[in-house]
Structure 1
Amino acid sequence: MRKNTFFNNRTTLNCNGRLLNLSTPKVMGILNITPDSFFDGGKYNSIDESLRRCEQLLIDGADLIDIGAYSSRPGAADVSEQEEIERLRPILKAIQQQFPQAILSIDTFRAEVARVSVLEGAAIINDISGGELDNNMFATAANLQVPYILMHMRGTPDTMQKLTKYDDLVSDIIKYFAEKVNRLRMLGLHDIILDPGFGFAKTLEQNYQLMAHLSELKFFDLPILSGISRKSMIYKLLEVDASHALNGTSVLNMVSLQNGANILRVHDVKEAVEVRKIFLQLNESY
């Protein structure tokens, strides 16, 4: 069987002057400082709780920490831009002080929140809206010159599940990325990561169709992020709830890696690191 050479491409990201080598896949641990995220809302709202969570993620092997202060769960409470900044700023400062080597990503669709967060030490912008919810986001990311995670979504978190009709799911997503990647490059931003947006404006069946065709996004020669951790595409199929979706998450994390994902965004870092270790051993054995 021919050896998978995808990870021999020496893809790197410039994260605050440090080069993150994606020639082997990386694990991004999730730190939600929201009261209402779908899986862990309310657990890490205080600085002390966030620091403990961050420390555990790093101990478990996280290469990146993705921090979010605005829940994208349908029906979640709206949070003002100022409140989002006020939630983030003290926690970013505390993490930077206690874990200065941690590479932090900021999960926001607001340009000003992204700008403030980068000034406070965040190295990556993770935008679920692909620039659709803030017209200033692309220019801000380009001005900041930080890696930008470009996710596919339609509408807003409250309307997205009504917007699941596609002419051709995979082709439509590729067209979406092609247009936005071109715009970002025209602005001078080249560190772009593609996130197909599992669970966002997609039915359960469409999520699995997209997973089966994830490798087609390698056409762009850009890093791919897969974020399926404990999502409804797993627990609804298995007829459980999010708290019992770890096994399914691990299965789909392996499928993601086999289909070319460079970054796994997860709640359960230790288990994802184990998946990566098995994947790399398999890859060496081809």
Structure 2
Amino acid sequence: MHVMGILNVTPDSFSDGGRHAAADAALAHAKSMIAEDADIIDIGAESTRPGAAAVDAAEEWSRLEPVLAPVIALGVPVSIDTYKADIARRACVLGAAIVNDVWGLQKDPGMADVVAAAGVPVVMMHNRVEADASIDILADMDRFFERSMQLADQAGIARERQILDPGFGFGKTMDQNYLVLNRLDHLARHGLPILAGASRKRMIGAVLDVPTDERLFGSLAVHLLAAERGAVILRVHDVKAHVEALAIQAAMRRERAALVPAEAGR
């Protein structure tokens, strides 16, 4: 299990917009998450929250450039959270180790080739322009991921470098978000690792009726359930809390595994 710590260098992200926009604040936060045992740092410079203003590539890079190389130099793998091929290319040249595309290679036609040329893994997230309560969301995800995987295969991205993200909070109704969580093991049919990222999202606030900065406990609950259903990477704001919760879960799994041979011998 891997914990991916979120580093938003944006003025308008839904949870921590503006807190780490300055290069020194971003670097300090990255160091803090690494000290808390983050396995990956995911850096994004454009908010993808509903209603956020679009950012052109020049502005996105101007936010990233002062931060990216210093964070990469810390020695922990860095993921670049972008759907723009040119941003991904520049980040990979500097040493980004993963591309995290919220449109699953389907927004920018050049993205798959950039990832293939860089030889890095790619997170392909399910997304929709808008939610539709009438659709079968699992079937929609299957079709989306089959297209993303096809694009990745055609570009020459090895299957072992492809990762799926169900996209909690993106183009889904509240009920669909929880249906996807409850059926997350459905995605195992695609044979790829799964990343889950529901940290502090509205699907948690809607159930608990708490503001964004009071959604840690709900985030932990959702992510532990996701891990039980097959997620192997958790994208989170609160690294230490998740690392500790996952350690308890791992201890439970070890105990459970130890029972299997004992019970088989009865």
Q: Report the TM-score when normalising by structure 2.
A: 0.92
Given candidates 21, 27, 32, the residue that maps to 1:56 is 32
- Cα distance in 1 for residues equivalent to 2:203 and 2:9: 23
Given candidates 35, 59, 71, the residue that maps to 1:83 is 59
Verify: 1:152 aligned to 2:126, yes or no.
Answer: yes
Letter in 1 for 2:37: G
- Cα distance in 1 for residues equivalent to 2:147 and 2:55: 30
Contact (CA 8 Å) 1:28, 1:62: kept in 2 or not?
yes
User: More helix per residue: 1 or 2?
Assistant: 2
- Cα distance in 2 for residues equivalent to 1:82 and 1:66: 20
Tell me: CA distance 1:196–1:146, structure 2 relative to 1, closer, same or farther (3 Å): same
- Cα distance in 2 for residues equivalent to 1:79 and 1:172: 28
Aligned length: 254
Given candidates 238, 241, 264, the residue that maps to 2:211 is 241
Given candidates 19, 42, 50, the residue that maps to 1:43 is 19
Letter in 1 for 2:69: K
The within-5 A match list for 1:163-178 is 163-165=131-133, 167-178=135-146
Given candidates 149, 152, 156, the residue that maps to 1:184 is 152
- Cα distance in 1 for residues equivalent to 2:114 and 2:183: 31
- Which residue in 2 is equivalent to 1:26? 2
- Cα distance in 2 for residues equivalent to 1:168 and 1:73: 23
Residue 110 of structure 1 and its aligned partner are, at CA, apart by 0.2
- Which residue in 2 is equivalent to 1:10? none
Contact (CA 8 Å) 1:28, 1:266: kept in 2 or not?
yes
- Which residue in 2 is equivalent to 1:107? 81
Given candidates 228, 245, 250, the residue that maps to 1:258 is 228
Aligned Cα RMSD in Å?
1.2
Residue 83 of structure 1 and its aligned partner are, at CA, apart by 1.1
SS of the counterpart of 2:231?
coil
SS of the counterpart of 2:41?
strand
- Cα distance in 2 for residues equivalent to 1:164 and 1:198: 14
- Which residue in 1 is equivalent to 2:195? 225
- Which residue in 2 is equivalent to 1:143? 117
- Which residue in 1 is equivalent to 2:170? 200
Q: Report the TM-score when normalising by structure 1.
A: 0.86
- Structure 2: state its 5+ residue gaps: 257-266
- Cα distance in 2 for residues equivalent to 1:165 and 1:235: 20
- Cα distance in 1 for residues equivalent to 2:178 and 2:157: 31
SS of the counterpart of 1:262?
strand
Greater CA deviation, 26-35 or 142-151?
A: 142-151
Q: What do the CA deviations read for 1:64-101 (whole angstroms, capped 9, x no partner)? A: 0000000001222222101111111221122233x1x1
Contact (CA 8 Å) 1:89, 1:120: kept in 2 or not?
no
Runs of 4+ in 1 over 4 A off after TM superposition: none
- Structure 1: state its 5+ residue gaps: 1-24
- Cα distance in 1 for residues equivalent to 2:19 and 2:62: 18
Residue 271 of structure 1 and its aligned partner are, at CA, apart by 0.7
Q: Percent identity?
A: 41
Contact (CA 8 Å) 1:225, 1:261: kept in 2 or not?
yes
- Cα distance in 1 for residues equivalent to 2:107 and 2:140: 19
Letter in 1 for 2:144: Y
